[in-house]
Structure 1
Amino acid sequence: MIVDLRWLDAWSEAGCFSQAEKDAGWPDAMKPEQLAALQRPGKELEQKRKRARLASAIDTACKQGALVHAVGVKQFVQPSKTYNPGFSTTAENWPAAYVRDGRPLAYTTEARTIETRFFSIAPGDFAAWLHAAHEEPSAPIAVWFEVRGVAWPPVLAVDADTVADWPGLVVLVKNRKKGTRWTEGEVAILRAEFARRGGWSREANGQPWVKNSSIQSDMATELGFSARSALDRHLGDGPDRGSAVMSSAVGALTGTR
């Protein structure tokens, strides 16, 4: 049997994996506390505090829907137990159902099955969340991504029909084939973002509009273009071009639509 020393180091440092999980190797998914332990390795007190804060942040992100996850269920049996009153036991501090004529009586609880639920996060989903948080993966988390075939930085899939804001447009344009025709909605988002950043100016009413070359260059770079001229055709000659479509896009960007 070949031992993966990287996994051995990871779970030894983390201290929060069951024996079955250790034996199974790099998992398909992890719980928030396990992710936090691998992302914030270390035994120092301050590192443990950082680990706890990260685990809480991951848990909150799952609850709020900001981190894609599955919900796992773990069952365990709570065995029956017998309770006997002691010398100091009184009727007042004993369950009323087991008091007769003022005297506490022994009783036995039945065994019962208890379910606990937990968040389970796959490596691709954690990579997307970590990337959005502008944080690099730790060494063990990077190995987990590698073993599970998850690219870093992650390649985010975007549905062209649902792109509704500038960040979505950036991901879409950067990951699609060069020369792909822009839709009217994509152009509207581009123009809305350009206007939001203050890309248009003119000396007076009736005068020609002038594009801010610096803002145009920044946006072209964000989209993966080497020259700002790649946006000239889509930006046009002024903010009033395609105003109806642009108004819709501005609403998407500002949350007023």
Structure 2
Amino acid sequence: MRTELASEPGDADRPNEDFAGVGLPASGQGGSLVVLDGVTPPRGGAGCRHSVPWFTARLGGALSELTVSLPDVPLADLLSRALVRTADAHVETCDLSHPRTPQATVVLARWSPESVEYLVLSDSVLLVESPDGAVTPLLDDRLALLPRSALATDALVDATVRNKEGGFFTAAADPSVAARAVTGTLPRAEVRALAALTDGAARWVEKFREGDWTECLALVRKEGSRALVDRVRALERADTDRVVLGRSKTHDDATVVYVEF
């Protein structure tokens, strides 16, 4: 088995809000990956005394442990348990009902000799490659399908679509959000490789259109996870007139985890 992980902050002067980990149980039977993309809150407070990196470290750590230690519990249930554990760590000091309480997108995958389970919540992506080379992106596209008018301001997003029916969902403090995730199970024999990308790394496909998902995974296999992040950074720096980036931040935290069976 080959595993690779690369993660880089969008700004060297700010902490990386992503979390990534690969777990390989001592039994040698299977493993798991966890990728979180922390949601940067707007200025003005989020009702919490803790930072987004604090939250992603807590939630990511819980998920890393639970996906390995409870192999028979479905991933959605594990996400729910991890959210409860994380919320309990700061419910006494923070307003967890605030719409911008620390939160994150989630990608989980867990494999055994028989199967590969997956969970995707919000706009990170899990790529699945089959033995014949076909690549399937597993996406939660609810945010991408919203009209731009619904995302005009932070206040509008928080009031109408963030963690609301008809909008999109992220992992915050409410454990019931786990049931909103995109989940499924594939036969292990039908999976040759996995690649989990936060949206900062997925820009190579989704924003800069340098290739499709198949070409993206091929790049990671051939040149490594770090190479994809470097390609994205070069494209961001080259877009000096912001033809592609527009009002988006120049650099976003970018994380890639690759697993080849």
Larger radius of gyration: 1
- Tell which has more relative contact order, 1 or 2 (C-alpha 8 A, sep 6+): 2
Greater percentage in strand: 2
TM above 0.5, yes or no, is no
Greater percentage in helix: 1
Q: TM-score normalised by the shorter chain: which range applies?
A: under 0.3
TM-score by length of 2: 0.20
TM-score by length of 1: 0.20
